[in-house]
Structure 1
Amino acid sequence: MNERSKRFIGKIFWNYYSNAFREEEFLAGMPPRLEAREWGFIQIYLLPKIVMRRHISFQSPSEMKKFVLKNIPAHIYHSSAYYKYPGADKMEKKGWEGADLIFDIDGEIGRGGYSQMLLKAKEEAVKLKDFLMDDFGFVEREILTVFSGGRGYHVHVRDGAILKLGGAERREILDYLTANSLDVKNVLRTTAVRGDYGAKSGYFYEEANSGWGRRVWGYVISFLEYIKDLDEEDAIEKIRELKVGRKEKLVKNVSKEDAFKMLTSIKNEKIFDMARNGKIISKELGNLVERVVESSVEDLSIKGLSPSVDEPVTSDIKRLIRLPGSIHGGSGLIARMVDNLDDFDPLVDAVIFSEEEKKIISDRNMEVEMMDNTYKIKKGENKVPEFVAVFLICRGVAEYGC
């Protein structure tokens, strides 16, 4: 970013913050106990150097506003932690008093580009909220979901029960979320059979009454439905591919004869309907289900049911996280609080700058999707809406024209 671009970005960021501190939504994004938080800033005029000014504290939003307008920031962060002395220049002097539980979801730009990356990140945020509410029992008012302004979402849990958790306890939460500690015995429940369902003795499988039990059972049924729709030869081959067994024991592969019996059970509508309803009574189908679950745990495919989060962020009890309502200096988008993820489109709802035409000098040919439009940018001089100009300049692929 050259000096002309910095002046342009600095001016419009200043204009935003000069008004933001009077806006109800912006003030609602201030973290609880603002005065107990450490604050960090990266200033626009020091870019491209990334110099973090931290160990700063404020007693009120008005005090913070004076600092922000004097030192126009590209990025604003606050600590997840609460401190007795947040402005102390050494971490050991701050007096840690607890911390919010923070999750960071970042996408990776692939062939689908920026918009597809953001869509995938939103799917991960939905999964995470499902875990937090269904498995851990947090209520929605204790969970703040924020589009980061960059590549994904930040999720803040502000429940008093978690404030004093240390890094080790937070890693245990991560282990649960990411299936690192998943045990087959905890997701497949066995119940003894005595004369029921036409069997003299034995057991049947049931869906375990737990969050992971529900998810794994759904995974199993989806797999069985996939097998059911294959032709016989392909279905038998797919069943025989399943590798089963703990690392400490060896289990022989499924024979063609046993695979055929398993397939026959899948195609029995009465048995399969009971499986959909959380109960498996066929011995052959039970053996197959056990293989599906153990195999998916071993090859990590079950992890697809887990939300993808940046684990070091969650386990760090002194982390700095982006302020909701602030501008992301790497995109020009706002870190927007999100009430309804399903309806949220970051390339519309996180855009805050105007449609006024601005001139930019692009270093490449590209397309930009914003505000339900696709803007074709050619290498060299272009005239684009202000919000596109800010986005490209902040992304480092264009400079301000004049």
Structure 2
Amino acid sequence: MSSKDFVQKAFREFYSSIREVPIPASISQREFAFFLFRERIMIRHKSFKNASVLKVFLSETAPSDVYYSCAYYENPEYEMDRKGWLGADLVFDIDADHIPTPCNKIHDEWFCKTCKFEGLGIPPDRCPVCGSQKIETKTWPCPLCLTSAKEETRKLIDILQSDFGFSSSELHVYFSGHRGFHVQIEAEKVKTLDAAARKEIADYVSAVGLTFRGGQRGEEPNRKHSDALALSNLGWGKRVKEGLQRFIADATKEDLKNAGIRKGFDIILQNRDKLIARGIGEGMWQSVKGLSTRTWIKLAESVASVQSAKIDSVVTTDVHRLIRLTGTLHGKTGLKKMEFLPSELEGFDPFKDAVAFKSGSVNVFVFNAPEFRIGDRVYGPYRNQAIELPTAAAVLLLCKGRAEVLNE
């Protein structure tokens, strides 16, 4: 049995064994799409009347990936220009692929399909040797990557609740099944938002276009109560104020350097209380001599960057976007896309809560794999090694192209 056949068989057994498939609201108005194991093609423009019909299709077809549209259509099975768009959910995608972490350079690989040059970490847009855009990547879902993605999700949820007024019951939070999280809003008030409106929301949560008013370049305000930073007590103004207070209270010289500050370290570190109380609290930005407007703006920009949510804005603005169906398996890991409450984000454990295969084992030959955990057990690291692994661990390696099934 080939590795691909083994994984597809495992997926088919999973879909045949589950009682039901979680379905989105108004299932009959959604377009469904499926990526097939053998053909490596996507089937689109499918529709289903109910969960039972969908489950039968999944059991018989056993696709590697299952998607549905964030959009609602009059005729979801028609071609795009004939579907009849009725509205769409508001979707946010947070993926570790877009978040630089130290571990990227340890477990993520890329190579140029043209000249075969290879490297570690986040892949370039073009090969640095031959300039080709044919870059292939091998990523890995490690705990540090997912912790970083989880923190971005936490910030996003806070902004959506505090600044936009969405309730916890309106926010559907998911583990994607791979290296990230989704936040989805199905409320009527967002359904008819066009792409431009959704881009404004995406820009807001990402702090794109956020500016801080100050004097002209080279000019220092000479008033003690300066409007160097026009920060309100709402939205980003409030966030930046509170963020500045926390940052200055605990900042080290190295923190200031990382924030883009090049001088005046002692002025900041020796006047923390005054800067927090009068500078930030009362807006008296020039209350401490020697601290320029440009320094305040640098600090504010750094704080805003840290507090913003790193989302894939293309997903949010696309009113026809296909998204992975909850409860289905991710073809790159064999883990499930899982929904949980916003309050459960911190405690959610993807390597335990999203494991689909609970029994069985298989002999595999592992080419190269870092240390990883499934459930409470740690595996690896492996290099050119034959080993018997539980199905869940083996499927992860097979899906990642890190191993192959050994046939007796």
Matched, 1:17 2:19: no
Name the counterpart of 2:374: 370
AA in 1 matched with 2:88: A
5+ residue gaps, structure 2, are 98-102, 108-141, 215-222
Contact 2:32–2:66 (Cα < 8 Å) also in 1:
yes
C-alpha distance in 1 between matches for 2:224 and 2:366? 74
* Partner residue of 1:36 out of 29, 33, 55: 29
AA in 2 matched with 1:328: H
Q: Which has the higher helix share?
A: 1
C-alpha distance in 1 between matches for 2:386 and 2:346? 37
Change (3 A) 1:19 1:168: same
How much has 1:289 moved relative to structure 2?
A: 7.7
Matched, 1:278 2:281: yes
How much has 1:387 moved relative to structure 2?
A: 0.8
C-alpha distance in 2 between matches for 1:102 and 1:72? 26
Any idea what the Cα deviations from partners look like across 1:129-179, whole Å, max 9, x if unmatched? Answer: 111111111111111111010110111111211110111111111121122
C-alpha distance in 2 between matches for 1:170 and 1:159? 14
Name the counterpart of 1:193: none
User: How many correspondences in the alignment?
Assistant: 355
Matched, 1:123 2:128: no
How much has 1:85 moved relative to structure 2?
A: 0.3
AA in 1 matched with 2:35: I
Query: What is the 5 A alignment of 1:2-401?
Result: 4-20=2-18, 22-23=19-20, 26-27=21-22, 30-46=23-39, 49=40, 51-88=41-78, 90-108=79-97, 110-111=104-105, 113=107, 114-185=142-213, 202=225, 208-225=232-249, 242=261, 263=267, 267=270, 271-272=274-275, 274-275=277-278, 278-281=281-284, 283-285=286-288, 288=291, 290-296=293-299, 302-339=304-341, 340-364=344-368, 366-376=370-380, 377-401=382-406
Change (3 A) 1:284 1:324: same
Between the aligned residues of both structures, percent identity stands at 33
AA in 1 matched with 2:32: W
5+ residue gaps, structure 1, are 187-199, 244-253
Any idea what the Cα deviations from partners look like across 1:93-133, whole Å, max 9, x if unmatched? Answer: 00000000111111036146522111111111111111111
How much has 1:219 moved relative to structure 2?
A: 3.1
C-alpha distance in 1 between matches for 2:209 and 2:88? 24
How much has 1:76 moved relative to structure 2?
A: 0.3
Change (3 A) 1:294 1:201: closer
RMSD: 3.1
How much has 1:378 moved relative to structure 2?
A: 3.9
Change (3 A) 1:81 1:281: same
How much has 1:296 moved relative to structure 2?
A: 4.6
C-alpha distance in 2 between matches for 1:242 and 1:8? 55
SS at match of 2:340: coil
Change (3 A) 1:312 1:269: closer
How much has 1:373 moved relative to structure 2?
A: 2.7
Change (3 A) 1:84 1:365: closer
How much has 1:182 moved relative to structure 2?
A: 1.1
Larger Rg: 1
SS at match of 1:181: coil
How much has 1:60 moved relative to structure 2?
A: 0.8
Change (3 A) 1:279 1:364: same
Contact 1:150–1:328 (Cα < 8 Å) also in 2:
yes
Any idea what the Cα deviations from partners look like across 1:50-83, whole Å, max 9, x if unmatched? Answer: x110000011111112221221111000000000
C-alpha distance in 2 between matches for 1:183 and 1:82? 36
C-alpha distance in 2 between matches for 1:154 and 1:80? 12
C-alpha distance in 1 between matches for 2:236 and 2:275? 21
Any idea what the Cα deviations from partners look like across 1:196-222, whole Å, max 9, x if unmatched? Answer: xxxx99568896222312321233224
Change (3 A) 1:127 1:365: closer
SS at match of 1:97: strand
C-alpha distance in 1 between matches for 2:374 and 2:51? 31
TM-score (norm 2): 0.78
Contact 2:267–2:290 (Cα < 8 Å) also in 1:
no
SS at match of 1:337: strand
SS at match of 2:38: helix
How much has 1:311 moved relative to structure 2?
A: 1.2
SS at match of 1:283: coil
How much has 1:33 moved relative to structure 2?
A: 0.2
AA in 2 matched with 1:398: A
